[in-house]
Structure 1
Amino acid sequence: MAFEFHQKVLFKHCDPAGIVFFPRYFEIINDCVEAFFDQGLNAPFHDLHRNGAVPTVQIQTQFPAPSRHGDELVFQLEITQVGRSSADYKMTACCGDEVRLTTSATLVNVTANGRPEAWPDVIRSKLTEFKGGAT
């Protein structure tokens, strides 16, 4: 099962040529992850980050085609692996049938002092619900 996040490309996302400036994609990726935790896992970042955090510790991204101001992008996030304190995901952003971005990353649940900590059972269970067939 994949989590969907919709983002219209806004003026603030674009460079002077009218295409998405690549660092803005990373902001949108994080927006998607934050929405996934809030809406998909019922574990909002504002709650999780009171006593810890869920940082991205690794990310690899490709941009096969440019996105332009006004494009409607659909991001799909799928969990590929759930560890004791980590979770790997893959994400694709499309405009219609055209892939604009693919990324894979690792998130880690950490304590307030930055040490890895096991996912709470309820979050681990929900992460597993979004796990696809990829490993």
Structure 2
Amino acid sequence: MTGQVFTSERKVRFADCDAAGIVFYPRYFEMLNGVVEDWFAGPLGVSFRELHIVRHVSVPTAAVEARFIAPSRLEDDLTFSLTVTKLGGASCGLRHVIECAGQRRFEATQTIVYVGRSLKPEPWPELLRARIAPFVETPA
């Protein structure tokens, strides 16, 4: 697979864990949302504040499928990787991988959709589409 990979790092916090000291599974979805938000604010050049508050558009999740591979524990340093599996007219397929010290902990696919003021899907704006395109996975 080629294409740019967006990566970020985050330490597992106490609030992320259950009583056994491992990441409580719904917290992974919150973490993924944070990665998507950072991807938009970083290389895509438009923060969620800009999208939601200024432009009155959003990128809600339409689908997500996850696989929990190994537990993550309090104070683990996690590395998040995001790539684009498909860029549609109004949708965007994302692939997420979370690792710790080279060990895969979690992976997911997610579909986000560009939604306008009407709360209906709309085509990606050309500038945003152009900034997403380099992250699309292509066969090696």
Q: What range is the shorter-chain TM-score in?
A: over 0.9
Aligned match of 1:100: 105
Output one character per residue of 1:5-37: Cα deviation in whole Å (capped at 9) or x when no partner.
111000000000000000111100000000000
Aligned match of 1:5: 8
After superposition, residues 20-99 of structure 1 pair within 5 angstroms as 20-50=23-53, 51-99=56-104
Hey, what's the Cα distance between the residues in 2 that align with 1:121 and 1:26?
28
1:16 aligned to which of 19, 22, 26: 19
SS at match of 1:133: coil
Question: How far 1:116 sits from its partner (Å)?
Answer: 0.5
Output one character per residue of 1:56-96: Cα deviation in whole Å (capped at 9) or x when no partner.
00000011000000100000000111111110010100001
Q: How many residues align?
A: 134
SS at match of 1:53: coil
SS at match of 1:21: coil
In structure 1, list runs of 5 or more residues that go unmatched: none
Letter in 2 for 1:124: R
In structure 2, list runs of 5 or more residues that go unmatched: none
For normalisation by structure 2, the TM-score amounts to 0.93
Question: How far 1:113 sits from its partner (Å)?
Answer: 2.9
Hey, what's the Cα distance between the residues in 1 that align with 2:22 and 2:138?
33
RMSD of the alignment, in Å? 0.9
Hey, what's the Cα distance between the residues in 2 that align with 1:113 and 1:24?
30
For normalisation by structure 1, the TM-score amounts to 0.96
> Which portions of structure 1, spanning 4 or more consecutive aligned residues, are displaced by more than 4 angstroms?
none
